[in-house]
Amino acid sequence: MSFITRRKPIEFGAPAEGGRHLKPTLGWPHLMALGVGAIIGTGIYTLTGVAAGLAGPAVILSFAVAGAVCACAALCYAEMASLTPQAGSAYTYSYVTLGEGLAWIIGWSLILEYTLVCSAVSVGWSGYASGLIRQAGWGVPDALLAGGIVDLPAIFIALVVTGVLLMGTRESANVNFILVCVKLVALAAFVALTLPAFDASRFEPFAPFGFGAHEVDGTKFGVMGAAAIIFFAFYGFDAISTAAEEAKNPKRDLTIGIVGSMALCTIIYMVVAAVALGAVPFGVFSKSPEPLAFVLKELGRPTAAALIAGAAVVAMPTVIMVFMFGQSRVFFAMARDGLLPRQLSAVSARGVPTIVTILTGVIAAAISGFMPLSEIASLANAGTLAAFIATACAVMVLRRRSPDLPRPFKTPLVWVIGPAAVLGCLYLFTSLSAKTIIFFFVWNAIGVVAYLAYGRAKSRLAAA
């Protein structure tokens, strides 16, 4: 059973192995834009309504709880990313600290997370795109739009983003940067337009469904139940760490990207959620697939609503882009280590792991065409929470095992932040629905079988 605990050595740069490495082309503005592009998307444009239906006005506290847990995890990610700047994120951190067995489980969980995030955001994007299609009167059958039998807009956008990523890392990062600016301008306009209609009385009763998570017909209500879902809206900074190998100055730029994007997005989320809840009663927009646009329609601003929906249609694909980028890099790292077929780690002349990028795009498109948003988001959260727990544990283990390692960034109050990240993630995990938790363990049981049948013997460490 020694194969479970065997560890890779910590390498302070990308492993030199022929052509199986990624080109460093990204500066800190690109990395911060990757973080903002991933964090601000379906969470604020779509899940605000879903979460408000679970917690009422107290959804603001749900944002605060999820944001606090993510902040602790983000500080742990910043230390590990600056210490071992390689593709793979939490998978790589687990491999160098906790052993190959746990690294495989985390990598397998990340595959679940990133693929489902791409699918969830594709469905969220489709909610806005379908609204514009209906408003334009193009005559597309409802069965082929959001909420129908097959969600064709969701499939379409997943495949388009795949094509953009195949253009090259630098090129797709530049596209992402432009779209992030569009997204931030749209949210600023939303706040400016809704603030005059703000009414504090709409926050009463503040927590109609209570604070603890309680399940009704398979759905968890209350502040913590909503936090377990809205948690989806905050993560995305972990996708920055998958780009560690492609950062020009990883020891500086990764820290700025991870911590900076997390701080900025937390402020934006709290402000947007507050003005939306103060402008329209939460029960009115909680069932809308395009809640921000719906709020503006209720305020008698149909033109502004159409512009916000249009901005969402244009800018939300940045989230798909960043997570699809991250997924391909996790696939790439696992294949380079031999735990997945080595052919998957082939890199094109543009520095793109082509095969895994296409594979990710096709799977995400297929899922987004047939599954509802809430179920996809919950399943993605389970994989993310596992990765966050592993990264926090990796930081604490390395602090004990190798206290003298040069750390460009050190997590402050690590023996407070680390345990807080672990306990917070465990609590959010137990707040997920029973169906989600069962599926997560079934997924990892399949992963264990795959590892024992293939990865254990094919690992590069097995041949060392």
Q: Which of 121-125, 324-328, 393-397 has the highest mean pLDDT?
A: 393-397
| Position 404 pLDDT exceeds 90 | no
| pLDDT tens profile 294-321 | 888 888 888 888 888 777 777 778 888 8
Give the least confident one: 63-72, 150-159, 206-215, 411-420: 206-215
Measured distance CA(20)–CA(5) in Å, rounded: 25
Cβ atoms of residues 40 and 121 within 8 Å: no
CATH number of 22-463: 1.20.1740.10
Report in angstroms the alpha-carbon separations of 381 from 43, 214, 299, 348, 375: 12, 18, 33, 31, 10
The pLDDT assigned to 213 comes to 63
The pLDDT assigned to 85 comes to 79
Cβ atoms of residues 226 and 43 within 8 Å: no
Burial class (CB in 10 A: 0-12, 13-18, 19+), 371: middle
| Position 264 pLDDT exceeds 80 | yes
The pLDDT assigned to 375 comes to 65
Higher-pLDDT residue of 356 and 213 is 356
> What's the rounded mean pLDDT across residues 143-152?
85
The pLDDT assigned to 286 comes to 67
| pLDDT tens profile 233-252 | 777 777 777 777 778 887 78
Reported confidence tier of residue 269, pLDDT bands at 50, 70, 90: confident
| Position 40 pLDDT exceeds 60 | yes
Taking residue 248's Cβ as centre, other Cβ atoms within 10 Å add up to 13
- pTM recorded for the entire structure: 0.80
The pLDDT assigned to 420 comes to 92
Burial class (CB in 10 A: 0-12, 13-18, 19+), 110: buried
> What's the rounded mean pLDDT across residues 76-93?
86
Q: Which of 97-101, 215-219, 319-323 has the highest mean pLDDT?
A: 97-101
Tell how far CA 174 is from the center of its chain. Answer: 20
Measured distance CA(279)–CA(194) in Å, rounded: 6
Q: Where are the domains of the chain?
A: 22-463
| Position 120 pLDDT exceeds 70 | yes
Question: Which percentage of the chain shows pLDDT scores above 70?
Answer: 91
Q: By C-alpha distance, which of 19, 2, 66, 3 is closest to 454?
A: 3
Measured distance CA(457)–CA(340) in Å, rounded: 11
Reported confidence tier of residue 392, pLDDT bands at 50, 70, 90: very high
Quick one: CA dihedral 341, 342, 346, 351, positive or negative?
Answer: positive
List, in sequence order, every residue forming a beta bridge with 247; answer none if it has no partner: 26
Cβ atoms of residues 44 and 187 within 8 Å: yes
Report in angstroms the alpha-carbon separations of 181 from 9, 187, 300: 39, 10, 26
> What's the rounded mean pLDDT across residues 161-165?
90
Reported confidence tier of residue 93, pLDDT bands at 50, 70, 90: very high
Measured distance CA(393)–CA(413) in Å, rounded: 14
The pLDDT assigned to 396 comes to 96
> What's the rounded mean pLDDT across residues 181-186?
85
The pLDDT assigned to 43 comes to 63
Mean pLDDT estimate for the chain:
82
Structure-block tokens of residue 256:
């700025």
> What's the rounded mean pLDDT across residues 137-145?
85
> What's the rounded mean pLDDT across residues 162-189?
84
| Position 21 pLDDT exceeds 70 | no
Residue 10 gets which letter from DSSP? P
Q: Locate all alpha helices (DSSP H) within 98-233, ordered by sequence.
A: 100-136, 152-165, 169-194, 223-230
Higher-pLDDT residue of 416 and 224 is 416
